[in-house]
Chains A and B, each alone.
Chain A
Amino acid sequence: MRRWLALLPGLLLPLVGLAPTSVTAATKPVVVIGSKNFTESVVLGEIARLAARGQGVDARHRRSLGGTRILWRALVEGDIDAYPEYTGTITHELLRNLPPGAGVAALRPRLARLGIGITDPLGFNNTYAIGMLESEAAKLHIRDISDLAHHPAVVLAFSNEFMNRADGWPGLEHAYHLPQTARGMDHDLAYRALASGAVDAIDLYSTDANIVHYHVRVLQDDRHYFPHYDAVFLYRLDLKQRAPGFVQALQDLAGTLDAQQMRAMNTAVQIDGASETAVAAQFLGVPAESAGGSDFWSRMGRYTVQHLALVGISLLLAIVLAVPLGIFAARYARLGQAVLGMTGILQTVPSLALFVFMIPVFGIGAKPAIAALFLYSLLPIVRNTHAGLAGIPPPLLESGAALGLPPRVRLWRIELPLALRSILAGVKIAAVINVGTATLGALIGSGGYGQPILTGIRLDSMPLIMEGAIPAALLALVMQGVFELIERALTPRGLRLRAHA
């Protein structure tokens, strides 16, 4: 039996071998650029990467990492070296006690204290705005944001980030005395909800490609509530030593990019389906590099390896900890309840939050995702190990004891084999759930099937979403099948007979 149990890690171990080479790049590039999970940020990130390449600096772009918090933390922790940001976000979200409307000159010394540098503004102000469909706004005679106060029935839906930031909805509601209750939704889905009439007003970025595409009226900020959101690059000051050419290249981008150009690039990507790389290359006037490894199957292969590594490593680690915890819980009833309770509580932490919690400890990329998935895997395995052991008929336990076998031998030769089915069922549940949850890992840069899903949502591209969603669903089915085979192979024949009897 022990021999069979030893087989299990053996099956998963090859994944560990794959992980370091596939999840993190084989050779660490000199400069890592990050971008947030929306098109403009990705385009700016690509511009930075190509600009670095022009300086002969080896740069890597980790695109679509998530929201402001994730990027900022990654920058401060040194997981990334630079990313595009907006001055308004820096004053309101990242630093405290700054005068409203503080410019780059005011921000620079404050950021320098944190080891962060800032370029001069790139040339466009992508401020928040509130927009309604042109037809709807005309019908209700809404021109300014203050007009919304007279129309309490207007349904407001804002991006989740806007809902929560100090310079977002809470301040807006207060500044304009708005009577509505706003609800949060994904920014890219908001346009579709707007077009379908499900919601009446959403938050926009003033360089949004969709403004034109969806015939949206941008309401006037008549009380000048929204601060300036001048686009800049933030970078780690240690880059000045490590890659001075790159810092110069970023600085050279200042003042070269106006709102119209930015909106055109966003439109090219989001509406016309151009790649961010191509758009960025065109802007810089450099030849678009042939995107290596971007054909469907090699891309799919990369996502699959990344996804399997996330699920496999986290699962393996979880088995190593959760099975002993389950045994412990079965042995010591009272402490066991505490163990079961703790793993239960872990399960209630929303998955996205858990991923973000892992960043300060593990940085960005595969490691925090694996840590989060590991924590999620504990509960089903601990519970099923406990249930499997607790479900062994007492006469059998007693027979083992009465034979005079020591507890350790009873555990290995009698109890674990009898509980094996239940334990494997727990591992299977954890594996299948992890395949789904791992797609969220793309938000913190872990790659996997979440990558195309994330990009697909951002670009409103159903085929791209499917490119991640279908293999993830298939992988879940395959996992289910594989574990059923493992279960069949490992369950002693005598137990299957009992099941049939």
Chain B
Amino acid sequence: MPASPDSDSVFSLVGVTRSFGAVRAVDEVSLEFARGRTTVLIGSSGSGKSTVLRLLLGLEWPDAGEVRCDGAPLQRTRVPSVRRSVGYVIQEGGLFPHLTVLGNLALLPHHLGWNRARIRARALELAELTHLRETQFARFPAELSGGQRQRVALIRALMLDPPTLLLDEPLGALDPLVRHGLQDELRGIFGRLGKTVIMVTHDLAEAAFFSDRLVLMRRGRVVQDGSIEDFRRAPAGDFVREFLAAHRGLPEAPA
């Protein structure tokens, strides 16, 4: 179900192009990200899906077109406030190795003037939600398993209770068993918190598991935007058919 232009969008791209040298990483892309919904950007590596997330955060700027946040153009002066309204989780978590788990979680709240007790209370609340044990708080990232690191990264992204979450291959570096378990947990958390979620993955099964809106990208362009049913029923060209065929054992009816 493609987003209609008049829906209540948190973020939107309007004809955005971003090139690195001769390569058009994002090529005239227009997308709307609806409030309260989960959207999954899917595609193989180099398709431009991560660059879309980075454009939303002001980590990249478009060469042409416009990025909008809450209906207004994203400008440099707005970037800090936009970033704080967004939780961002990347593949390896992006945890700071010199800080403990709690140190990582406290970084931004501390800067915003939260006291220790408030930071700890919020961290504990989120640790419970993500099944991270409090005993891990004093550990350093290097002492954690990959799954634990991603939980910490997610908690860090949620500390300020931002309305939006941007997740860039959040489970990409995990072994299948851990990954499977965390997929269940994450979907439960998204459902409970009612956040706007924009997620990037290269795994079609994972994409279909998380959302009924998939955006398939290839060489910087959007190839198809719709539910997994739309993809199956009316694939937009041979590439979509090949992409579907490459993912055997896809769940028949995504929840």
Contacts and interface: CB of A to CB of B under 8 A. Distances in A.
B254 to A, nearest CB: 29
Nearest to B84: A404
Contacts of A11: none
B98 A492 contact: yes
A495 interface: yes
B239 interface: no
A398 B94 contact: yes
Contacts of A6: none
Given A413-B107, A414-B96, A494-B97, A403 B140 contact: no
B127 interface: no
B98 A418 contact: yes
A1 B97 CA distance: 13
B95 to A, nearest CB: 8
B89 to A, nearest CB: 9
A402 interface: yes
Interface in B79-120: 80-81, 83-84, 86, 88, 90, 92, 94-100, 107-108, 111
Nearest to A497: B142
A112 B86 CA distance: 79
A345 interface: no
Contacts of B96: 396, 399-400, 414, 418, 494
A399 B166 CA distance: 12
B90 A493 contact: no
B99 A492 contact: yes
Given A409-B111, A494-B100, A403 B142 contact: no
A383 to B, nearest CB: 22
B3 interface: no
B83 A399 contact: no
B59 interface: yes
Contacts of A493: 140
Interface string A467-492: 00000000000000000000000001
29 contacts: A395-B94, A396-B96, A398-B94, A400-B96, A401-B59, A401-B83, A402-B57, A402-B83, A402-B86, A402-B94, A403-B83, A403-B107, A404-B80, A404-B83, A404-B84, A405-B107, A405-B108, A406-B80, A406-B111, A414-B96, A417-B98, A492-B97, A492-B140, A494-B96, A494-B97, A494-B141, A497-B97, A497-B140, A498-B97
Interface residues of B, number: 25
Interface of A: 1, 395-396, 398-406, 409, 413-414, 417-418, 492-495, 497-498, 501
A399 B90 contact: yes
Nearest to A418: B98
Contacts of A492: 97-99, 140
B244 to A, nearest CB: 31
Nearest to B81: A404
Contacts of A396: 94, 96-97
Contact of B111 (A405, A494, A497): A405
Interface string B203-227: 0000000000000000000000000
A498 B96 CA distance: 11
B143 interface: yes
Interface of B: 57, 59, 80-81, 83-84, 86, 88, 90, 92, 94-100, 107-108, 111, 140-143, 156
A495 B143 CA distance: 11
Contacts of A1: 98
A413 B156 CA distance: 16
Contacts of A403: 83-84, 88, 107-108, 156
Contacts of B57: 402
Contact of A497 (B80, B86, B107, B143): B143
Nearest to A402: B88
A494 B152 CA distance: 15
Contacts of B98: 1, 417-418, 492, 494-495
Contacts of A413: 107
A403 B160 CA distance: 10
B97 to A, nearest CB: 5
Given A497-B97, A497-B140, A497-B142, 15 more contacts: A396-B94, A396-B96, A396-B97, A399-B95, A402-B94, A403-B83, A403-B108, A403-B156, A404-B108, A414-B107, A417-B98, A494-B97, A495-B97, A495-B98, A497-B143
10 cross-chain pairs, A with B, having the tightest CB-CB distances, nearest first: A399-B94, A494-B140, A404-B83, A497-B142, A492-B98, A404-B84, A402-B88, A417-B98, A494-B97, A494-B98
Nearest to B92: A395
A495 B108 CA distance: 21
Nearest to A417: B98
